[in-house]
Structure 1
Amino acid sequence: MVLPYEPEFQQAYDELVSAVEDSTLFTEQPKYKKVIPVASVPERVIQFRVAWENDKGEIEVNNGYRVQFNSALGPYKGGLRFHPSVNLSILKFLGFEQIFKNALTGLSMGGGKGGSDFNPKGRTDSEIRRFCVAFMRQLARHIGPDTDVPAGDIGVGGREIGFLFGAYKQMRNHWAGVLTGKGLSWGGSLIRPEATGYGCVYYVEKMIEKATNGKETFAGKRVAISGSGNVAQYAALKVIELGGTVVSLSDSKGAIISKNGITKEQVAAIAAAKIQFKSLEEIIAESASVFSGENSVEYLAGVRPWTKVGQVDVALPSATQNEVSGDEAKALVEAGCKFIAEGSNMGSTKEAIEVFEANRASGVWYAPGKAANCGGVAVSGLEMAQNSARVQWTNEEVDAKLKDIMYTCFDNCYQTAIKYSTEKTEGTLPSLLKGANIAGFIKVADAMFDQGDVF
C-alpha cells in the first residue's frame, strides 16, 4: 500500500508498476501480478531517537531510520543519508529503488536504505563523531554482515563511515564487513569512491556503442553533468579520460558552465573543497588561478545547468532526485542531447521521463538510475566479497569487474526491453526504462516465489 503523504515513494512505485504493466510480462506470465502488493511493502521499518551532545554540551535530538525493504536476494544493502530532508517517504523510495538496482548488478544483495534528518554541514568533526556514535548505538542491533550492510549516501562519506564502523566494532566486539565504503587500510575496496560515477559512464559507453553500431564513442562528445559531489566528480574524470568535454557541474546554490571543458585540475580543486562543504561559488573565488584564462568558467547562481549548456550530446544528472523537470528535458532534447543517464537516484521527474521516452524514435535514449548508477552498490558488493575472504583486489581487478557488471547490466536491460516490448516500431531504440524495471523485477520476483514470500 502506497500512502498519499509519501510522494517520493509513490513516484518510484508508479515508475516500476507502469513499466511492468506497459509490457507483455503480465500477459505472458500473470503470476507476477501477485508480487507487486507484497514487494511494495517493506519487510521492516525501524525508526529511532538519536540524542547526542553538541560542542556546547547541549543535547540535540534527531530522527533515525532504517528501511529494510527486501531480502530475497541477500542481506539488505543500501546507503545511509544524513540530510535535513530525510523522511520515511524519501527513504522508502530509495529503498524500493535499491531492491531492483541491486538485482541488476547480479550480486547477492537485498534492498534497504536509512539515515537521519541530521545536517552535517557546519558541524565540527567532534560533533559528527558524537552523532555517529549515538546513531550507531540504536542501529547496531539491527545490522550485520549477513543481515543488513549499510553504506554511505548524501552527507555520509568516508569520515562518517569510519566513525560509524568504529562505534559498531566497540559495541558488538566484532570486526565484520558491516559497512561498505570503508578506508582502504581497514577493509575498504579500491575503486569504491569512483564506482558510481565510473559505472554510469561505462553504461553510457554501451548506449553510445549500441545506438551508433559501434561508430561513435565518448570522444568529442559534449557532456552536461549536474552535482559536484562524489558521483559527479568521478563521472567527469572518466568522461575526460575517454575524450569527452564536460561542460557543467552544479551544487544546491548554482551551476558552473565551461565552454572549453572542465579540467581534471578543476575537478580536483572542487573535490578538495567539497569535503569542507564549500559552495562552487566559494571554490571558484578561492581557486581563481585554476578557473581562469582558457579554463575560465561562468558561475550562474540559483539555476541548474540543463537550460544553460548550449549544444550537448550527453546529460548525466548526478545531484539528487527530481533534478530534471519536463521543461528542462525539452531544452536538452532541443539542444541535441541524445543520451541521458542518471547518476543520481530518480534524477528525472515523471514529466521529464515522458519527454525523453517520447523522443526515442528520433534517437533520444534515457537510462534510469536503478541501472545507470548501480556501479556504486556493485563495488559495495565486491567490497563485501573481499571482506568475507579477508583479501583486497587491485585497482585493475575491481575496475574490470565494475566494467563487466555495467556492460552486463546494459545488455540485460536492452534484451529484456526488446523481449517484453509492446512496441512494433522498427528502428526505434528499445526503452531502457522498461528494460531495467522489468529485468530487476523478474529476478526479485522469482526469488520471492522460491522462498514462499509470494505463492
Structure 2
Amino acid sequence: MLNLKNFINYVEKRNPNESEFLQAVTEVVEDIIPFLNENYPEYETLKILERLAEPERVVSFRVAWLDDSNTVQVNRGYRVQMNSAIGPYKGGLRFAPDVNLSILKFLAFEQVFKNALTSLPIGGGKGGSDFDPKGKSDNEIMRFCQSFMTELYRHIGAETDVPAGDIGVGTREIGFLFGQYKRIQNNFTGVLTGKGVNWGGSYIRPEATGYGLLYFVACIYDYIDQNLEGKTVCISGAGNVAFYAAEKAIALGAKVITLSNSSGTLYDEDGFTHEKLTYIATLGRNIDKFTEKYKSSSFHAGEKPWQFKCDIALPCATQNELNGDDAKKLIENGCKCVAEGANMPSTAEAITVFHAAKVFFAPGKAANAGGVAVSGLEMSQNSIGQQWTSAKVDTRLKAIMENIHKTCLRYGKEESGYINYLKGANIGGFVKVAEAMKSQGIV
C-alpha cells in the first residue's frame, strides 16, 4: 500500500531544492494515493506514480547571442519532456529571469494532467530560458530566439514535441522561433503552436485561456442552477489571460472590478467595460494611468486584488500569488468561487482554507486548460491543412471545457455534495495517463 509521507520524502530526496516541483507533486498525490490504494493497488507494483514524477527527458543547453552593442550574452535554455503516454509532448516555452529547472518541472508535471483532461492526444512538457525579453529590441529578441532554436530544433517535431508560448513568449517570439526551425529543417510543419493566423495559427488562440476559464466558471454556476449575471469578479494579472477572462466575464453579465500587475492593483468600483478594457490595452504596464481618465477607479500600489468584496476570484498572474491570508480575506468578503487562470497561483495553505470553507475551487490544470486545448486544435488544423473559423474553434473550446467539468464532477463529488474540483481534476487526469502507461509496458 502506498504511503503519502514516504512517497513525498522519496520525491524530495530525488529532487532536492526544487520547492515548486515538490509543491506540484504533493498537491496531486494527496488525492491520488488514497484513490489508488482503494481502486488500483496493482499500480504500486508498476511504479506508476514514481514514473510520473520522473521526466522522460530533460534537456539543458547554453544559449549564446549578440545584443545590439555586439556584446556576447549567455543564457540557459531548457526543455522538460515529462510524459508522452497519450501523445507528443505539449507545453509552452517561458522566457523570464526566474526560470529554473524546478519551475519548469512543476509546469511540465501539471501539464501532463491538464493535457489529459482535454481528452486530446497530447502528452506533457515545458521549456524556456532565464532570458528576460523586457527592455530588449526586436532584433535582440530575434537573435536570442534563433540561437535558442538552433539547439532546441533537434529535440522537437510535429509528432515528438510541440512547444507553444507562455510568459514572455507571444506571437512575435513564436514567429522568430518557427522561422529558425523552418530554415534549419527546410520544411513547414506544425512544430509550434501559437503561430500567427496568416501562417498556420488558429483563431482565438490568444483569447483561449481566458475564455476557457470563464466557460469553466459558467459550468460551476450552471451546476448549482445559477449564472454569472450580476456576479462581482476580482481578477489578478493584466496580460492575455486576465484581459480575455475579463472580456468574457463582462460578456456573460458579470461585473469585473480589478486587474493587477507587479506594481499593484487597479480597482474600478463601477466595473470595467469593453471600452475601458480597450483603453487599458493601450497603457501597457502603466495601468495606474487608467485612474487619470476614469474617476471611478483607484490604483493600489504594491497591493493584491483580494481585499475587495467579490463573488468570484480569478488569479491569472503567476504561481503562489494567493496565500492563506489572501484566501481568508476573500472568504470574509463573501467569495464563493475561485478559479485559477494561471499555473498553481494558490498556495497549499490557501487551498486548504478554500476547501474548509466549502468554496468552489477550480485548479489551473482544469480551469486554465483552454489555452492548450486550442493549441491542440491548432495541431489538428495543421495536420489536415485547414484553418477553422473563430466560431468553430470557440464552439470546440467550450465543449472541451464542459467535458473537463464533467470529469471533475465524476471524480470530485463528495458524500456531502460538495465538489472538490482539485481532487476531481487530479484523479481524472491521472486515470487516463496511468491507463496508457500500463498498456504500453515498462518504458
> Which whole-Å CA distance do the structure 1 matches of 2:398 and 2:68 have between them?
44
Residue 55 (structure 1) aligned with residue 68 (structure 2): yes
> Which whole-Å CA distance do the structure 1 matches of 2:276 and 2:195 have between them?
26
Residue 337 (structure 1) aligned with residue 332 (structure 2): no
Residue of structure 1 aligned with 2:24, choices 6, 12, 16: 12
> 1:389 — aligned with what?
384
> 1:447 — aligned with what?
436
> Which whole-Å CA distance do the structure 1 matches of 2:194 and 2:372 have between them?
10
- CA deviation after TM superposition for structure 1 residue 375, in Å: 0.6
> Which whole-Å CA distance do the structure 2 matches of 1:82 and 1:137 have between them?
16
- CA deviation after TM superposition for structure 1 residue 77, in Å: 0.2
> Which whole-Å CA distance do the structure 2 matches of 1:166 and 1:453 have between them?
38
> 1:149 — aligned with what?
162
Residue 267 (structure 1) aligned with residue 280 (structure 2): no
CA distances 1:396-419 after superposition (whole Å, capped 9, x unpaired): 10000000000010011111123x
Residue of structure 2 aligned with 1:250, choices 237, 260, 263: 260
CA distances 1:100-129 after superposition (whole Å, capped 9, x unpaired): 000000000000000000000011111111
Alpha carbons 1:94, 1:113 under 8 Å: kept:
yes
Letter in 2 for 1:350: A
> Which whole-Å CA distance do the structure 2 matches of 1:170 and 1:134 have between them?
12
- Counterparts of residues 112-127 of structure 1 (less than 5 Å): 112-127=125-140
Letter in 2 for 1:430: I
Alpha carbons 1:208, 1:339 under 8 Å: kept:
no
> 2:306 — aligned with what?
306
Secondary structure in 2 matching 1:379: helix
Residue 77 (structure 1) aligned with residue 90 (structure 2): yes
Residue 183 (structure 1) aligned with residue 196 (structure 2): yes
- Counterparts of residues 204-223 of structure 1 (less than 5 Å): 204-210=217-223, 212=224, 214=225, 216-223=226-233
Secondary structure in 2 matching 1:85: coil
- Unpaired runs of 5+ residues, structure 2, are 1-10
> Which whole-Å CA distance do the structure 2 matches of 1:302 and 1:65 have between them?
32
- CA deviation after TM superposition for structure 1 residue 262, in Å: 1.3
Q: Find runs of 4+ consecutive structure 1 residues off by over 4 angstroms.
A: none
Secondary structure in 1 matching 2:68: coil
> Which whole-Å CA distance do the structure 2 matches of 1:402 and 1:453 have between them?
34
- CA deviation after TM superposition for structure 1 residue 258, in Å: 1.1
> 2:236 — aligned with what?
226
- CA deviation after TM superposition for structure 1 residue 242, in Å: 0.6
> 1:402 — aligned with what?
397
Give aligned-pair identity as a percent.
Answer: 56
> 2:4 — aligned with what?
none
TM-score, scaled to structure 2: 0.95
Secondary structure in 1 matching 2:62: strand
> 1:237 — aligned with what?
247
> Which whole-Å CA distance do the structure 2 matches of 1:181 and 1:31 have between them?
40
> 2:286 — aligned with what?
279
> Which whole-Å CA distance do the structure 1 matches of 2:256 and 2:415 have between them?
36
Letter in 2 for 1:318: C
> Which whole-Å CA distance do the structure 2 matches of 1:429 and 1:137 have between them?
50
Letter in 2 for 1:88: L
- CA deviation after TM superposition for structure 1 residue 270, in Å: 2.7
Residue of structure 2 aligned with 1:43, choices 42, 45, 56: 56
Alpha carbons 1:342, 1:373 under 8 Å: kept:
yes
Alpha carbons 1:251, 1:279 under 8 Å: kept:
no
CA distances 1:13-55 after superposition (whole Å, capped 9, x unpaired): 0001001124x44212212332110110000000000000000
Letter in 1 for 2:40: Q
Secondary structure in 1 matching 2:408: helix
Letter in 1 for 2:32: V
> 2:3 — aligned with what?
none
Residue 135 (structure 1) aligned with residue 135 (structure 2): no
Residue 98 (structure 1) aligned with residue 104 (structure 2): no
Alpha carbons 1:8, 1:93 under 8 Å: kept:
yes
- Unpaired runs of 5+ residues, structure 1, are none
Alpha carbons 1:325, 1:348 under 8 Å: kept:
yes
Residue 30 (structure 1) aligned with residue 41 (structure 2): yes
Letter in 2 for 1:230: N
Secondary structure in 1 matching 2:242: helix
Secondary structure in 2 matching 1:9: helix
CA distances 1:262-290 after superposition (whole Å, capped 9, x unpaired): 1212222333443xxx3322x437xx43x
TM-score, scaled to structure 1: 0.92
